Amino acid sequence: MLSAQSAIASQEASEAPAVNFAALQAKLDRKLGPEYLSQRPGPGGGPGIAYIEGWQIINLANEVFGFNGWSSSVLNITTDFIDYSQETKRYNIAVTAQVRVTLRDGISHEDVGVGLRENASSKGLALDKCKKDAVADGLIRALRNFGNLLGNCLYDKSYNQEVVKMKVTPPKFDQNELHRRPEFQETRPNIASTPEVNQSSSDRSSSTPAAVPVRKEPIPSQPLMAPPKPHSMAMAPTPPPPVQAQSSPNAPAAG
């Protein structure tokens, strides 16, 4: 019984990677929508050419493989030439970079990218720009080896001719998607009350006695009476009679 269960478990474990690989392969076979692409003029002012920017390809790789499912490394950078013109006092520089992309399971692809600057006034800035462009180009070229979704579809001429015709409405800027520091976050009142607040509110409402409704009785109507007539002279009250002092038998006689 145990051997049968272990055999089923091992079979399910061996089938799980195959299912994940099939789902991943189906996703990589899909071509990119126009919202992922940028356009540049074709050679000689011809039709526009679609391309994908470096930040877009990194987001796509994170979406497909996971942020911790892949990595890139620069194997080497070579400065092909630095030409300086005495007449124009300008530089023409070309740099190549070899970049490798490795997945978590060890599968890797690598390719070479190129960075080129022409008629540059600063040698240092031109070299810096060329190296960055070469590494980004090498990363894009290495990732396209994994499938259409990561840029390989851009080498399909029929696809490229049709995708540049599609119009894309730029997405609206949403401030709620920004990660802000605490002092810049807007404080909003929490309308949804928690169960504890509800419980305390119910306790306070239960402890408070309910108000007793007061019934108002109708006031009976009384007939109007005429005010009393004023007296011509006010009657003074009659003063009480004076009290006479009585002599006591023990009192001494007056001399």
Walk me through the domains of the chain, giving residue ranges and CATH numbers. 7-168 (3.30.390.80)
Side-chain half-sphere exposure of 56, counting CA atoms within 13 A: 15
* pLDDT surpasses 90 at 90: yes
Q: Give the least confident one: 181-185, 196-200, 212-216.
A: 196-200
Q: Give the least confident one: 93-97, 140-144, 243-247.
A: 243-247
Mean pLDDT to the nearest integer, 93-114: 97
Answer whether 158's CB lies under 8 Å from 37's CB.
no
- What pLDDT shows up at residue 186? 75
**How does the average pLDDT of the chain come out, rounded?**
80
Query: Rounded distance, CA 166 to CA 157, Å?
Result: 15
- What pLDDT shows up at residue 255? 43
**130 or 209, greater pLDDT:** 130
- What pLDDT shows up at residue 254? 47
Other CB atoms within 10 Å distance of the CB of residue 237: 6
- What pLDDT shows up at residue 49? 86
> Tens of pLDDT along 22-66?
999 999 999 999 999 998 887 777 777 899 999 999 999 999 999
Mean pLDDT to the nearest integer, 89-109: 97
Percent of the chain clearing pLDDT 90 (strictly above): 54
Mean pLDDT to the nearest integer, 198-219: 55
Q: How far is CA 244 from the centre of its chain?
A: 108
What global pTM score does this model have?
A: 0.65
Sheet order of strands, 90-103 included? 70-85, 90-103, 108-120
Q: Which of the four pLDDT bands, split at 50, 70 and 90, describes residue 237?
A: low
- What pLDDT shows up at residue 123? 96
Answer whether 58's CB lies under 8 Å from 177's CB.
no
**64 or 206, greater pLDDT:** 64
Q: Which residues contact 34 (CB under 8 A, 6 or more apart)?
A: 50, 163, 164, 166, 167, 168
- What pLDDT shows up at residue 72? 97
Q: Which residues contact 51 (CB under 8 A, 6 or more apart)?
A: 37, 38, 39, 40, 154
Q: Give the least confident one: 110-119, 137-146, 162-171, 187-196.
A: 187-196
* pLDDT surpasses 80 at 192: no
Q: Which of the four pLDDT bands, split at 50, 70 and 90, describes residue 17?
A: low
Q: State how far the alpha carbon of 172 is from the alpha carbons of 34, 164, 169, 177, 184, in Å.
A: 17, 21, 9, 11, 21
> Tens of pLDDT along 132-141?
999 999 999 9
